[in-house]
Amino acid sequence: MRRFLLLRGAEVLVLALLAAVPVAVTNPYALGLLTLLAIYGVLLIGLDVSVGYLGQINLGQVAFLGLGAYAAGIVVTRFGGGLLPALLAAALVGLVLGGLLALPALRLEGPQFALATLSFSALTVTALNELESLTGGAQGLSLARPRFLGMALEPRGFYWLCLAALALVWVTMRNLLASHWGRAFEALRDSPIATDAMGVGTYRHKVAGFALGSGLGGLAGGLYAFNFQYLQPQIFTYDLMVILLLGVVLGGRKSLWGAFVGACVVVLLPNLLSDRRLFLVLAFLGLLAALAAGIRGLARRRSGAFQALAPVAAMALLAVGGLLVKNTEDWRKGIFALMLFAVVVGLPEGLMGFASRFLEGVFRVPPASLPAPSALDDALPAQENGPGPVLAVKELRRHFGGVRAVDGITLQVESGSIHGLIGPNGSGKSTLVNVVSGLYPPTGGEIRLQGAPVTRLGMVAMARAGVARTFQNLQLFGELSALDNVLVALHGAFRMPLPLLVAGLGRKEERRAQADALALVGLEAEARVRARDLTYGAQRFLELARALARRPAVLILDEPAAGLAHPDVLRLMGVIRKVHERGIAILLIEHHMDVVSELCHYVTVMDGGRMLAEGRAQDVKRDPRVLEAYLGLPRESAP
């Protein structure tokens, strides 16, 4: 509660102060800067969705600013529309074109995606230039600011309108990003495979997130158009994009406050460059800060030599360069590039990331306590098991070129049973469960889940149909806390109408379900620790908790004991038994033969993609073919 009040209090205070400034300050230049701050605030909150939350290098936001600006301008000048319809059109143009760009572009990864968005920006400027009849081309487009609710908007009134837009966007995005939408955005950045395995469609969420951010870009463009009342295509080019990126990275990604601080940077930076003395003072202060941070990082062994020294070198170049050059404005692009480099290397969490850690230390606000976990019956309801196998695989094949990783496997996992899957390295076990869980489409064969054909369902659909899994190589959402990892798995379990979600209502049920899942594996104490900071053993248990939170019909465990210390292996066996007692069928890949013998009712042995043997664990263990495959023993020497 204290944390909530502190955070909300800071938001209200800053907004109230910003709203009060024009009452005391009448300087039109200062008012112009504040108006730009509100507009860039909206723009950068949008950019942060793709750059911060989705983890994509988006070089297209400047195009959405331009498209929104022109859309608003055209609605007013060509169609005689009012201010609100023009702003709505601006946001819609951003949203729709953002979605259309995202559909193909988000099939690409990393640099290719960045290039796609860069090309889109170049195409936009060309189109704005060439569609002269609509946009006025290189001559530009002049527009008058329409009346708002019958009132003429003077600079002060327009500033308040922009501030109100920022406040609305802030509150909406805060609640949306704290909901399952925001968590899905973060999860897919850390592990797209696990996001799909939790039944959360990665691609769908990526496209939606990108379109949303672009829509905010469009809205900011609309406000931009009414602020300057004159538009030219060359405003919306690469130069501005670099400053916008610098703003988001320097402010701090995945943070509304970071976007706000970034907007301050974007607004103030050009002014800073025109005042050489001020630039020099700040460049030397930056150099001192980089030096102090570098020495501290090295002394505490938190950063390597490159991370400590590269920002110092960049800031030194900036300070010395500032002394040597005549006009800092001419060196604008070089200065932005150096700053961006220094921040990306030296302050990856940005100013707000750094400040929030510092403030948390000062205020020491305890996190909200977790609700007490429910009784086992509610946390993991007993499964009603009908007759017949819960999972049936028939003649399943998966080939990779000439490699027959799975080559005609038939097996049945009976409901309520623990089915072991063993075999030497490379025998095709992981490939089999990857096909069964929908990660790879099969080359041939059939899969049935609870009697229904599910052979070619993808991973998301399989997860929703009741298959939950863990991975041989851990696939956690490293940046999220243990609790939030589990919460991603509950996506869709607590659906709420969008308006309620945006209003930030009702999360109690979700919190309880999270606590339940962690209690099942004994991780309550680590609930608030970031997944990547957990011990390896705890990470394995967290993956299990996350899978259990889905309350699956079939749980697939791919070598869950790998790398665990003996006490943890015993604990793991305890959890698996508990899950089994609730009637959940388990398909268990495991190399520890004692774990398999203790737990599994039935075992399938694979070798070279084919089934080598099957039966009860104690019989399979003595099978000469199995001994030969595992230990290289000749068949005659088998007991």
By the criterion CB under 6 A, which residues form the site for ligand ATP?
400, 403, 405, 423, 425-431, 472
CA nearest to 389, candidates 438, 465, 450, 433: 450
Residue 472 Cβ vs ligand ATP, minimum distance, rounded to whole Å: 6
> Which residue, 576, 514, 572, 582, is CA-closest to 546?
514
User: In the complex with ligand ATP, which residue's Cβ is closer, 61 or 431?
Assistant: 431
Closest approach of ligand ATP to the CB of residue 609, in Å: 7
Smaller CB distance to ligand ATP: residue 306 or 400? Answer: 400
Rank residues 429 and 546 by Cβ distance to ligand ATP and give the closer one: 429
Least Å from the CB of residue 61 to ligand ATP: 35
Q: Which is nearer to ligand ATP, 462 or 606 (CB)?
A: 606
Least gap, CB of 403 to ligand ATP (angstroms): 5
User: Which residue number, 48 or 559, has a Cβ lying nearer to ligand ATP?
Assistant: 559
Contact between residue 524 and residue 370 where contact means Cβ atoms under 8 Å apart: yes
CA 105 vs CA 52, 58, 116, 325, 636: distances in Å: 17, 10, 6, 41, 60
Q: Which pair of structure tokens corresponds to residue 159?
A: 């500033």
Distance between CA atoms of residues 492 and 489, nearest Å: 9
Please say which residue, 254 or 429, places its beta carbon nearer to ligand ATP.
429
CB 290 to ligand ATP: min, Å: 43
Q: Of 73 and 423, which CB lies nearer to ligand ATP in the complex structure?
A: 423
Q: What is the distance between the alpha carbons of residues 544 and 574, in angstroms, rounded to a whole number?
A: 13
Alpha-carbon distances of 621 from 167, 498, 570, 615, 632, rounded to whole Å = 66, 55, 21, 9, 14
Residue partners of 118: CB distance under 8 A and separation at least 6: 59, 60, 238
In the bound state with ligand ATP, the residue whose beta carbon lies nearer, of 136 and 428, is 428
**Residue 637 CB, nearest distance to ligand ATP (Å)?**
24
Give me the helix-helix angle, 482-489 and 508-521, nearest 10°: 110
Residues 237 and 121: beta-carbon distance below 8 Å? yes
Helices marked H in 275-326: 276-299, 305-324
CB of 550 to ligand ATP, least distance (A): 23
> What is the closest distance, in whole angstroms, from the C-beta atom of residue 111 to ligand ATP in the complex?
23
Name which of 383 and 430 has its Cβ closer to ligand ATP. Answer: 430
Strands (E), 474-577: 554-558
Q: What is the CA radius of gyration of the chain?
A: 29
Q: How far apart are CA 284 and CA 527, in angstroms?
A: 42
| Spatial contact of 528 and 522, defined as CB atoms under 8 Å apart | no
For ligand ATP, which is the closer residue by CB, 133 or 425?
Answer: 425
Nearer to ligand ATP, 341 or 440 (CB): 440
Instruction: Please answer whether residues 474 and 593 qualify as being in contact, where contact means their C-beta atoms are separated by less than 8 angstroms.
Output: no
Distance CA 564, CA 536 (A): 8
Query: At 410, which helix (H) or strand (E)?
Result: strand 403-414
Q: Which residues contact 89 (CB under 8 A, 6 or more apart)?
A: 71, 72, 75, 81, 222
Residue whose CB is less far from ligand ATP, 148 or 440: 440
> Residue 331: how many CA atoms within 13 Å on its side-chain side?
19
Q: How far is the CB of 380 from ligand ATP (least distance, A)?
A: 28
Burial of 437 (0-12, 13-18, 19+ CB in 10 A): buried
Q: Considering the complex, what minimum distance in angstroms separates the CB of residue 306 from ligand ATP?
A: 33
